[in-house]
Structure 1
């Protein structure tokens, strides 16, 4: 299949590109600073989602793509761009008729022991220093919820998403944060990529999902 990964050089995006290529998929890797590729399955495209060019160019990039994965993370101080950039992708996907997997944040999830509490308000999992990017992911999720014309799925990673030793698998949940037997919630880019490509290959019915390392 043909998969477009937007934000292809970031921590999540690069892992998803690698996983998709390892399964033999054709990948269009979209990033601000695209570089050439010696892989026949990989096409690289330079595009800044925050630019006006994205509005015009992205529908054409997504045309003929079976699934798109949005995996962008704004730099500190640019968190306010997350919502508008997500809207740009969803609008383009609607025009192209492409479904989208949005790799976002854990803030929109429910606390594991308080279903009425969003994770962004649970300092055990999201400390004060993380609130700017957590707030951006909550804005992003709201943009998705308001975009009813595009087929999208929102993938929330665990509370801690960082490089480490992959488990080679994952557990999948929906709207509530998953934790291990020690109460920890962690997932690596490699394990998240497994879930992202699985979901792109065979999308489920849940609009909001989450994963944790196996």
Structure 2
């Protein structure tokens, strides 16, 4: 497969690039600013602006799939929907499948149908509410778009860690452990991303966790 990763310098994007390269996929890593000093063998690094639809369409043309792993800078959460829509537009124009790595906010709370993780201070502390709300709006932008999209909601806590290769997959309800925690390493999230690209599931919105 030829995979284009947008946001390749970020916590998730960089690990998706590494996982894709390790599986032998031709990978294009797209950076908005300075690229890292080292990249896995076989990875092509390019500079690109995720808010430029023509530039994105050129990068997506001929790709098997796109992974959108962008994350807004603090104070720029209002731009998430516009950036995501630009990427969806570019994917639709080239007929390219796009997997959007979003947030946990749109997920329902376990045992509480109709509730949202966004509204739970346990999983979304006040300091993270703005970016969480942006991810909920991001999913709505996907739902109304004709592109061939899939939206991956990580669990409540996503941070660098160990690649175990294992995870649980769910749909639209937050996955938690018996003690109520909800987490996964960025390394194992990237495993889930590549698993989905290689063997797509039936759900357009899904989640993973331990």
TM-score scaled by structure 2? Answer: 0.95
Backbone CA RMSD of aligned residues: 1.4
Tell me if structure 2 keeps the 8 A contact 1:37–1:43: no
Which of 182, 193, 205 is the aligned partner of 1:196? Answer: 193
Deviations 1:64-91 (A, max 9, x none): 1001000011010000111000000000
The size of the alignment, in residue pairs, is 209
- Deviation digits for residues 11-45 of structure 1, max 9, x if unmatched? 00001000000000000111112537675521111
TM-score, reference length from structure 1: 0.93
Counterparts of 1:34 and 1:58 in 2: how far apart (Å)? 18
Distance 1:129 1:104, change over 3 A: same
Cα pair 1:107 1:120 within 8 Å, conserved: yes
Which of these residues, 97, 111, 114, is aligned with residue 112 of structure 2?
A: 114
The whole-number CA distance in structure 1 between the counterparts of 2:39 and 2:190 is: 22
Q: Which runs of 5+ in 1 are unaligned?
A: none
Closer/same/farther in 2, CA of residues 119 and 38 from structure 1, 3 Å limit: closer
Aligned pairs for 1:66-81 (under 5 A) are: 66-81=64-79
**Residue 7 of structure 2 corresponds to residue 7 of structure 1:** yes
The 8 Å contact of residues 10 and 69 in structure 2, kept in 1 or not, is answered as yes
Residue 20 of structure 2 corresponds to 20
Change (3 A) 1:39 1:124: closer
1:92 aligns to what?
Answer: 90
Q: Which runs of 5+ in 2 are unaligned?
A: none
Distance, in Å, in 2 between the alignment partners of 1:153 and 1:65 is: 16
Q: Distance in 1 between matches of 2:46 and 2:111?
A: 43
Deviation of 1:167 (Å): 3.2
